A and B are shown apart, each in its own frame.
Chain A
Amino acid sequence: MSEGEMARLMEEVEEKKKLIATIRNKPWRMKRRLVLLREAQQFVDKFEGALGKGKGRKWYAYKVMMTKKWIKFQRDFENFRTACIPWERKIKEVESHFGSSVASYFIFLRWMYGMNLVLFGLTFGLVVMPEVLMGLPYGSIPRKTVPRAEQDTAQDYSVLMDFNGYCKYSVLFYGYYNNQRTIGLLKFRLPLAYLMVGLGTFGYSLMLVIRTMAKNADVGGGDGDEGEFTFAWKMFTSWDYLIGNAETADNKYASITTSFKESIVDEQENQKDENIHLRRFLRVLANFLITCSLGGSGYLIYFVVKRSQEFANRDDLSWYEKNELELIMSLLGLVCPPLFETIAELEDYHPRIALKWQLGRIFALFLGNLYTFLFALFDEVNTKLEEEGSIKNASIWAMKEYYANFSLPVNDSDATPPPMDPGDVILGPCWETAVGIEFVKLTVSDIQVTYLTILIGDFARAVIVRFLNYCWCWDLEAGFPSYGEFDISGNVLGLVFNQGMIWMGAFYAPGLVGINVLRLLSSMYYQCWAVMATNVPHERVFKASKSNNFYMGLLLLVLFLSLLPVVYTIMSLPPSFDCGPFSGKEKMFDVIMETIDLDLPAFMGTLFSYAANPGLIIPAVLLMVLAIYYLNSTSEAYQNANMELKKKMQMARDEEKNRRNNTDSTNQVMKDLEDLLPNRSLAPPALPEPAEKPKEPEGKPTKTRGGAAGKGVDLQKDVSLASSNPNAREPVTRAPGARGRGQPPGGRGRGGPPPR
């Protein structure tokens, strides 16, 4: 065989091989594929021998098998990973029936549970366990023993429910911990660990919240702005072909329907166009009304707190006056949110935006709650601090008396008296434990109120509506009261404020985090059940905003608010003299100074003292402020660039659509261009020479009609693509010479009506 033939043969063999490799990708019927495949394989077999061995087939089969195994492994691993996320199926079920906004609450709850679990691990592992394992047991020192006076009632249920008695003198609270610098064989520094864990709780929470916010900001490209093909993708790619289970299929149908409804709501909001001025006026009015009511409730709270301070000094109080504060707070909490919702209907926002406004307003209202609580707490702390002074003297006096009395019965002044029985020592008021008890009581009562509200407000209501409907005059299910809808804003705020309480109280009651973990766990199951069993979906199901950043923002605010009191007490209030890990010190953070002095090498001490110098700290703060400003401006620049790119993409898409779509406008432009051309008929008669020229271009069109030569013909082609162009048919059937109007300016003279 000659060289050329060899080359040609090799080419053909390559082609056939490529065909064999890609035959699976062709959308042909199986029979045709088989026939062609057989042909190609025979050809390759026949001629490959002549050209040289090829080992394609076995290697190909092996590669295919390995690829398939790899894909399968990846799929299994993904499934395994998804199966490990707790409650994923539950949340998906809720999402499919109630929409993504309700599901976003449960996702938030799950995230909180994760964070609390880590905090619990920290507290439990570094503070509670060492004290239990390596510290002194119950009953050995005064702070760990129930005082003799209370010992009779210490086991009573009512006392335990109030977190007194045995509860008060247990690991749950601050007062139990001993102030020994190191405990056990490992020389574990408990006071230092206590302080570090307390501060580390805040640090970790802060870091986690900000990291989640940053991650969400990355993912979310704006509310509801998915760009192109929202509905098309929903229609063609939403069904999961792997579903083989009837129940899963039902869930999938529900979730697809809900998802369509959400998009329809979004679309209807977009299509709404009403009187802008009226809407603006109504919105201003609504905001004004709500600000008034918020101001009114704030003043009412302040007034009631002042009155309660006066009442604290009097003794003859009626029931109402005793409980006035709690009553007013609960009343405000019950009345204001529905009031805000009713006023908000004036504003006529997209449901997602309306939810955010509602959340913000109720948050402002609940800040008033927080204010009263903290105020009362600080009052109590101050009274206890005053008490402490007097009790300190009293206990030292009692100790001296005990030793004096002891030496009388035993006439042996050499014997050392046994230490006083721990139950008899007069204990100081221990304000930290009192604060911790307040927080724990608040959390527990919050849990009880939430669960009871769900039980009565949702479950009992659903049962009544369902069963009383048979014998009632009007339709209970359609009219009042009907089934409840899931209150997203109330629940989210409850969660956020609860977490604020935990952050504030965790320093004074290490057991509080454990209680919260249990509460979140049970809350998840309970609320999932309650939602599925007793609630109905919202009338207008709306898509949650892609980022959860609004909830995170609220959480961050609450984190800062709860950080302030704790840091204040650590820095300025003196710790109790006889309870807790910092007893005996001037200020709580003296532990750190002690550690630096005693445990760390000398140069670290000098290093820290330099670092604490105001002369160093102020420039550092300035530097950070500048860095923030710089990062802010860069991020703004990126956002602007982003917007420009999006606009460009949108323009490109529109252009493409218009090019293929809008035939009339292009045709109209062409017509307008034509009209603007100078009218040659009005020009002076052409000289013979120029008359020659028109003849030449006349020849061209006959040649170039079939193909695309110059710009002129292209333009013709473009126009002829447009199906509704009435002139388009003509260039194809008649000679270009007959078409006067469609000629480009250059060829205007050819064939047209140049007057001879």
Chain B
Amino acid sequence: MGNKQTIFTDEQLDAYQVNSFCRLHGRYHELAPHLVPMDYTNEPDCKIPLALIVNMPELKENPFRDRIVESFSEDGMGNLSFNEFVDMFSVLSEMAPRELKAIYAFKIYDFNVDNYLCKEDLEKTLNKLTKEELTPEEVELVCEKTIEEADLDGDSKLSYADFENMITRAPDFLRYLVFVETDASKPCLCMHLSIFIILQYFTLLCTKNKIICSTLLLTNAFLICKIF
């Protein structure tokens, strides 16, 4: 994590209110070590270009990675300063509220940046989602149905009000628009597994039975295979 005192002042740390703040700065620095200074106390003004950011592991496989980065950048071209970088992770974290995610989701899917989701935007979204496997007629049908379902004011495109009305009722939405900064699930599972193994060791000491021993070994092997 480095020495907090030399990168940010206490005031800055408090201001950001993000828990894994130093880790984020570490990752921002890693993306472009020659561009990003280590010392942020003077709030330097540097931006990382789009091409470097979309190589992050969280974004690499995402079909909307370009749009995500563009919607958080001030210039709309995808160059993120550190503030915007933190913003992106903050909105896409588990703690962000639904309304905030809905706003940014709308921005992400708005390809031509006109504050409406028109048919071309929907077509682009669909093609990115299905890697262009659907025929043009099917794409047409889906986009038409989508607009028919969600459009409330009858202008054949979705405004933010339409989008929000539709998305707040979706059961899956909140769960999906989320990043996890580091893959901490494996270490956690390992911890659970090690506790389990310790408990087994104690039971073995008590019973000293071959059959129980072998069954426990088998279950352990099974669980380890499942996890990895």
Contacts and interface: CB of A to CB of B under 8 A. Distances in A.
Q: Do A and B bind each other?
A: yes
Interface of A: 24-27, 29-31, 34, 37-38, 41, 57, 61, 64-65, 67-68, 71-72, 75-76, 79-80, 83-84, 228-233, 235-246, 248-249, 253, 256-257, 260-261, 263-264, 267, 656-657, 660-663
Contact of A253 (B90, B131, B150): B131
Interface in B3-27: 14-17, 19
B141 interface: yes
28 contacts: A24-B17, A25-B99, A27-B100, A27-B103, A29-B87, A30-B84, A30-B87, A65-B19, A71-B95, A76-B188, A80-B189, A231-B149, A235-B122, A236-B105, A237-B173, A239-B129, A239-B176, A241-B58, A242-B176, A242-B179, A244-B58, A244-B60, A246-B61, A257-B130, A257-B131, A260-B142, A264-B141, A660-B153
B129 A253 contact: yes
Contact of B226 (A57, A84, A253, A263): A84
B185 interface: yes
Contacts, number: 160
A67 B95 contact: yes
- In the A-B complex, list the 5 residue pairs whose CB atoms are closest, starting with the nearest: A30-B83, A661-B154, A249-B61, A231-B145, A257-B130
Interface stretch (B31-39, B163-171, B198-206, B207-215): B163-171
Given A24-B90, A253-B130, A34 B154 contact: no
Contacts of B141: 264, 267
Contacts of B109: 236
Interface string B104-130: 110001000000000000100110011
B30 interface: no
Contacts of A253: 129-131, 133
A264 B142 contact: yes
B136 interface: no
A264 B105 contact: no
A71 B125 contact: no
Contacts of B62: 239, 241, 243
Given A64-B17, A72-B94, A239-B62, 18 more contacts: A27-B104, A71-B94, A71-B95, A76-B188, A232-B149, A235-B122, A236-B125, A237-B167, A238-B172, A239-B129, A239-B176, A241-B178, A253-B129, A253-B131, A257-B131, A260-B138, A656-B152, A661-B153
Nearest to B139: A260
A245 B61 contact: yes
Interface string B143-158: 0011001101110000
B1 interface: no
Contacts of A244: 57-58, 60-61, 183
A256 B130 contact: yes
Interface of B: 14-17, 19, 57-58, 60-64, 74, 83-84, 86-87, 90, 92, 94-97, 99-100, 103-105, 109, 122, 125-126, 129-131, 133-134, 138, 141-142, 145-146, 149-150, 152-154, 163, 166-167, 169-170, 172-173, 176-180, 183-185, 188-189, 192, 226-227
B19 A236 contact: no
B131 A229 contact: no
Given A261-B134, A661-B153, A31 B129 contact: no
- Residue from B62, B125, B192 whose CB has the most chain A CB atoms within 10 Å: B62
A261 B169 contact: no
A240 B170 contact: no
B146 A232 contact: yes
B145 A243 contact: no
Contact of A241 (B154, B177, B188): B177
A256 B149 contact: no
A79 B185 contact: yes
A239 B64 contact: yes
B142 A257 contact: no
Contacts of A26: 100
A243 B170 contact: no
Contact of A231 (B64, B130, B142, B227): B142
Nearest to B68: A241
A257 B149 contact: no
B138 A25 contact: no
Contacts of A235: 122, 125-126, 129, 142, 146
A240 B60 CA distance: 13
Contacts of B227: 83
A70 to B, nearest CB: 10
B155 to A, nearest CB: 9
A25 B170 contact: no
Contact of A260 (B96, B134, B150): B134
A241 B141 CA distance: 26
B156 to A, nearest CB: 11
Contacts of B170: 229, 233, 236-237
A241 B150 CA distance: 23
Contacts of B163: 236
Contacts of B63: 239
A685 to B, nearest CB: 46
B169 to A, nearest CB: 7
A75 B184 CA distance: 11
